[in-house]
Structures are given as C-alpha cells and as structure tokens.
Amino acid sequence: MKLSAPRGALAAVLIALSAAAASAQENPECIAPANPGGGWDFTCRQVGKSLQDLGLIDSTMQVVNLAGGGGGVAFAEVVNKRGDDNDLIVAASAATATRLAQGAYPGNTMDQVRWLASIGADYGVIAVAADSEIETLPQLLDQIKSDPTSISIAGGSAVGGWDHLKVLIAANAYGIDDVRSVKYIAFDGGGEAVTQLLAGSVQGFTGDISEAKGFVDSGDIRVIAILAPERLPGEFADFPTAIEQGVEAVGANWRGFYAPGGMSDEAYDAWVGKIGELYASDEWKDVMAANGLAPLDLQGDAFEEFVSKSVAQIQTISKEIGIIK
C-alpha cells in the first residue's frame, strides 16, 4: 500500500518552503568587494536597483563596499563570519576567478561559496587621459618597449589580477617578451585607478568598459583599445579594438554573484531564480546595451561549472606569463 502525507501536512511543508525562500530576500544585501566607482560596485548597485524596479525584491538592496586584497577581504568575511546568511549576495567577476586561480585568497577556494548566476560579460579596455599624447595602443606599447619605466598603468585589481592580466596579454601579443617589465599599479577599484590617471600619477588605465563609460562620457579619459573580437554596437562603436590595431588580444570579464557556502537550498534557488528572471527581462537588456555588457546567461550549476573552468584556464595563462609557477 502506498503511503502519502495528509494534504494539510503537505501544504504546510510547501508553505514553509515558500516562506523560507521569500524571507531570504527580506533584507537583501550585496557586498561590492571594492571602493565605490568600480565594476563590482556597478554590479551590486545596478542589479539591486533593477531587482527592485521589477518587483523581484520588496526592499532596497543594501550595498556594502568592502575593499581589500583584490576581493580577498570580502571573500574571507563571507566564508568566516557570514557562512549561513540567506540575505547576502556578493559581486564577482573574472577578477575573482583570477585571484582564486592564483591562490591569492590565502586558505580559500571557490568551493567554499555557492555560485549563483552571471549577468553578462564586460570587455576590457585600455585607456589614457583625454589630454594624453598617446592616441593608439601600439603607441603605448612601443613606449613601454623603449622605456618601461616611463609608463605606469593603473587598474582596479591586485597585482596579478584580471586588470593586470589584460594589459599583460596585450603586451605579450605585441611582442614584449618579458611582460614583467610592464609597470602596473594596483588600486582598490577602477574608480580610484581612474582618479590616479586624471591626477597624472599614471599614464594608462586598464579596466572594463562598464567602469570606464562614465569617465568617457564626462570627457576625462579616452579609450585607445577595447579587448573585444570586433567593435561593439551603438555608443561604443567608436572604440577601436586591439585586434584592428594589430594586437591580437581579447579579454572579457564576466560579471555575476556568489553566495555564502551555508546558504539554504531554498534561499539559493530563490536568488538564482530572481537573477535569472532579471537577466531575461527587457529592462536588463537595456542596461546591458547602455553599459557595453555582452550576453552571458548562466545560472546555478551551469554557472558554477563555468567558474570552475575559468579558474583552471586562468591558472594556465598565469603560468605561461610567469605570474605563478
């Protein structure tokens, strides 16, 4: 004889599960692992606003900027102190995978957190101040070739991080054999890096198109190369690719979120569903178009597998260019 739970009991269980999932976003919080103005900050604030605008969360997303260690401070905070927080999500990107790949978060690995979903990919850019005499990527790289000490390039990731890797990949593609000669200065976020560029402390900037866009619109910086296979459409069409300038360099920074490793399955599934619903919306397509984000639609297990493969690939690249042994 087949046994089954009474309908009332089953209904109670379903209601309890539904309530647990709903309550997971009663006090939504997003940690941006850098200072305001960079790509992680953009990810938290734009996604939080869009989730609320679409009615997917009932209250305003609290954004907490927790800079340090190229994202390591935030990662350690989540793993060590907030491992079972159902309300918390954390902005992540190729920079996160890079630091994990290189063992730069001491004692931490990617399987200590739960990977939620991607929201798009952000192509890398190399830029200079608007009044710079450098007008093309080959000019910048030629100057580095002839006098490496004359050019400093700022980025929002730590040394060996994704922003650093992007300019090294371009230098390597241009024939600079010892990419360690490229002088890179790390700051906690793209906004701070651009500030140093405008102050004249550095001569170049390496970052992502979303964090550079506002400074381009204000007339402060000029993008001399976008690391995309071909020119982007719309308002980004004026940005020349590295490839069309003879530098075979492509670099796409995926953007997404991870959650505490002890987050409940109900809360995890709820967050994955909400971010997936956001990604599929016309409103988010408009946000992507306005900020130069390329499509990357991955949720749950598919996103975790993608991150795992990214970590493995970056380990290989890092060994090839001498960042790790």
What are the residue boundaries of the structural domains of the chain, listed by start?
A: 21-121+253-320, 123-252
Mean pLDDT for all residues in the chain: 90
Question: Which residue intervals of the chain are DSSP H helices?
Answer: 7-23, 39-53, 72-81, 94-101, 137-146, 162-173, 190-198, 209-217, 265-280, 282-291, 301-320
Which CATH class name applies to 123-252? alpha beta
Strand, helix or coil for residue 126: strand
Q: What is the DSSP string of 48-80?
A: HHHHHHTTSSSSPPEEEE---GGGHHHHHHHHH
What residues does 46 pair with on adjacent strands?
A: none
In the predicted model, what is the mean pLDDT of residues 255-279? 98
Three-state secondary structure call for residue 199: coil
Q: What is the pLDDT of residues 72-114, one digit of tens each?
A: 999 999 999 999 999 999 999 998 999 999 999 999 999 999 9
Q: Is the dihedral of CA 152, 157, 160, 163 positive or negative?
A: negative
Q: What are phi and psi of 156, to 5 degrees?
A: -95, 10
Whole-structure pTM value: 0.76
C-alpha–C-alpha distance, residues 299 and 321, integer Å = 31
pLDDT in tens, 287-300: 998 888 888 999 99
- Say which DSSP state 83 is in: T
CA atoms of 302 and 59, how far apart (whole Å): 28
At 20, give phi and psi (nearest 5°).
-65, -40
Domains 21-121+253-320 and 123-252 share a fold: yes
Mark out the alpha helices in 200-300 (DSSP H runs): 209-217, 265-280, 282-291
Percent of the chain past pLDDT 70, that is, above it, reads 92
Superfamily of domain 21-121+253-320: Bordetella uptake gene, domain 1 (3.40.190.150)
Residue 316 has what pLDDT?
A: 83
Res 14: pLDDT: 45
